[in-house]
Every structure is written in C-alpha cells, then in structure tokens.
Amino acid sequence: MATAPRSSPSFPPLSQPEEAFPCVRGVTEWLCRDLDPEDGVAQSMPDASPTKWHLAHTTWFFETFLLETFDRAFAPFHPDFRFLFNSYYNAVGARHARPERGLLTRPTWPEVLAYRAHVDERVATVMARLDGDERERARSILELGLHHEQQHQELVLTDLKHLFAQNVLGPAYRSPLAAGPAKAESLRWIGMPEGLRRIGHAGPGFAFDNESPSHRRFLGAFALSDRLVTNGEYLDFVEAGGYRTASLWFDVGWQRVCEDGWELPLYWRRTPGGLEEFTLAGWRELALGEPVSHVSYFEAQAFATFAGARLPTEAEWEVAARTVPVAGNFIDSGRAHPQAAGPEQELRQLFGDVWEWTQSDYAPYPGYRSAEGALGEYNGKFMCDQRVLRGGSCASSSSHLRATYRNFFYPADRWQFSGIRLAKDLS
C-alpha cells in the first residue's frame, strides 16, 4: 500500500444486502490494490491462506450457496473451482488439501478476478429477478455471504502480515506508521454488580447462529480493566522472566513455550537497537503505549496470572460491551494496526484494535441448533478446543461487529490481532 487507505466510506448497511454487495466485494479488492499478484500465491503456514485463495473462496461461497440454488441458468464458472476453493464444507464434497493452497499458481490472479466479476454479475442478475419467499431466502444467504466476505477481508490482512514477516526483506503492505506513544495512562478497573444476565443474540438484526439463543447466565460481581494491556505492560512480564516461569502457565501452554521456544509475542524481535515489532507497515520500534497484540491465549492467561488478575469470561465481556457503542479503531480507518487508548470514555477499546481473549471455551449456547445442510458447518462443528475472542480488531470492518459477536481460535494461535483485557472478581 503505497498510500494510506481512504477513510471509511458510508456503506449501505449489510441488512440491505443487494445494495451492500458491490461495496463489500469492492472492499476486498481494494485491500489488495497495491499487492503484486506474486504476493497472492504463497501460504506461510497451514492456518493461513494465500490472498488469491481468499479472493476465490469468498466468490465460491456465493456461487455455491446462492447461485447453485437460485440461478436457473446456473453453470459453474469452472468445473474444478468447486474442488479448489471449498474451504471445509464436507457436505459440498472433496476439496484441495488445506496446507497446499500455496501450490495454486493457477488460476492466475487475473483469472480469479474474472471469476469474481462473473459471479458478481450473476448475483446481481439473479437477485433482481427473485421475489417472494425465494427472494427472502436468497437475501438471507446473500447477507451471510457478506459477513463471510468481511471475515476473509480480515484474514487477507493477517495472513499477509504472517507471510511478509517470514521474509528477511520485511515487505510492507502499507505506508509507514507514525511512532506510537511510549506510555499509557494507568489502568483502572470498571466494576459490574452480580446478577442474572441475558447474553446472546435476540431480535431482528443479523447474527451468526453461534450467537443464539439468547439465554440467562448468573454472573458474580466483577471488574474489567478500562483499556487493553499495553506493550509496555507486557514487556514487564517478559523482562520479569514470564516466559521462563512454569507456574504462570497452563501445562499445555508451557509445553508450547518449551517446544517452540517462545520468548516474545509473535511479531516482536530484539535488535541491537532495542525491541521492534513487525507491522503491516514493516518493522518498527515497539510502541510501549500501544496495545499488545499477536499473543496466544496461553500468553494472555500467563500474563493475567502474573498481573494478579484473570481473563474475562465471554459473558462478562458481553455484559460490559452492551454499555458502549460499536466504535473504535477498525480497518475502516486504514491504519491496520492497534493504537493507544484515547480518553473518550470510561470503558475503552472494547471494539476494534485487537480481539480480546476470553477464558471461555467456544461452546454451543444452551439450545443451540446449527443450520441445515452445508451451511450448518459454518460454525457449529468448531465448538471444541477453541477459545472465544470478542470485540474485533484493527483489521475488522465496523459494520461486521456487535456486542454478541463470537470469534474463536485455538489457544496457541498468534497470527490474529489478538490481545488482552484483564478481569477480576469483586467480592
């Protein structure tokens, strides 16, 4: 990105999916506008995917779940794309092995753009033709597809960041970032009383199936830190020997520390001139006042223990988040990097900047039912071994988030913009 991305446009809401469709699709391509097609080929680890694959897979989603059902003249753009760009839907059939997505030099970037253009045109044509119940069902899938595309927009950024970090050349995705602040205000605690609380999604707006049903939880009195944990606070943990102190860690986390030689967050490095952090703008001096990012659940939990606190549960987080607007540092600003907490409110940075690890297992809500058919594989089958993260990041779209939104990753994952908010019991 030679120049900083433009500020967030005023998009049609995703609840008007026909209108939002070209805008959301356009954002995906706009995120790639300064990439070289070669950058879109490589896969830096099995968890990450090539940019080109993201461009094609999001298109496959509309082709498979919308056009195949609703386009009377449906013909696949290419017979092999069903196989190549299926991510994990067993019900759709066999698929290209995930760890080998980086071998797909073909289709080329222009061919993938042609695939996108073809599907975009068919979607517009088909949606214009539908009415009645059929139209409602199609709109619902279209809206889901837009939220899906926004999830992949975030992955485009995190996967590119991981890829570029492997390269000794340290390529930059965007123009240089200004230096960050060296210090943050003191951390304060915001208390919440005990009580029976309702969490989860209810009502007319869009939400993923994993946010439902809305249900009651009993929460003891608790407090959350008013802002995210900073690089400077995390550095104290590092320098105090946090990565060498077994008693701070879960057993599985400690194994990971030992086996993988963890000593710092994923994108930190020590240089003769001091600590640096890899950003989407390349390597840069570590800004101690900015939120720590790219830490695993293991690191977040060990830090919290070190700090004499704990991580919040997702219910605690949600109860708190319902009190603030969905506003913050999102990809809409083009920064693509967390920033220091501002003074604007009491409970800050709940949305944007970094995803916040909770101590909650990613599990079905009581009474949860996944959708029928292949789309039922969207969320439900991942409800084992993962942890919930909340709030979105600097790589998320503001229109994508809400207080009930549940993200989930494995406890050792570090390549997302994932950080730490602290919690503690009051009583």
Where on the chain is the footprint of its own copies (CB under 8 A)? Answer: 36-44, 80, 83-84, 88, 90-91, 96, 100, 102-109, 163, 166-169, 171, 196, 215-218, 220, 246-247, 249-254, 297-298, 301, 359, 361, 363-364, 366-367, 376-377, 381-385, 411, 425, 427
| Shortest reach from residue 196's CB to its own copies, in Å | 6
Taking each helix axis from N to C terminus, what angle separates 109-129 and 17-31, rounded to the nearest 10 degrees? 170
Min separation Cβ 238 and its own copies, Å = 19
Residues, the chain, total?
427
Q: Per-residue b/e over 183-208, b at no fewer than 16 CB within 10 Å?
A: ebeebeeeebeeeebebbbeeeebbb
Q: Would you say 51 or 225 has its CB closer to its own copies?
A: 51
Shorter beta-carbon distance to its own copies: residue 91 or 327: 91
Q: How far is the CB of 374 from its own copies (least distance, A)?
A: 9
Nearer to its own copies, 263 or 425 (CB): 425
d(CA 23, CA 8): 11
Q: What is the closest distance, in whole angstroms, from the C-beta atom of residue 141 to its own copies in the complex?
A: 19
Round to whole Å and give the CA distance between 403 and 201. Answer: 9
Identity of the residue, 210 or 349, whose beta carbon is nearer to its own copies in the bound complex:
210
CA distance 364 to 212: 9
Distances (CA, A) of 52 to 41, 60, 102, 176, 294: 6, 12, 9, 25, 24
Helix pair 51-62, 109-129: axis angle to 10 deg: 20
- Name the minimum Å distance from CB 399 to its own copies: 28
Torsion of CA 321, 207, 408, 293, to 10 degrees: -50
Least separation in angstroms between CB 37 and its own copies: 5
Q: Where are the beta strands (DSSP E) in 100-239?
A: 189-192, 195-199, 215-219, 222-225
Residue whose CB is less far from its own copies, 392 or 411 = 411
Q: Which is nearer to its own copies, 113 or 341 (CB)?
A: 113
Using CA atoms, how far apart are residues 312 and 165, in angstroms rounded to an integer?
Answer: 30
Distance CA 286, CA 267 (A): 10
How near is the Cβ of 106 to its own copies at its closest, in Å?
Answer: 5
Closer to its own copies by CB, 214 or 345: give it.
Answer: 214
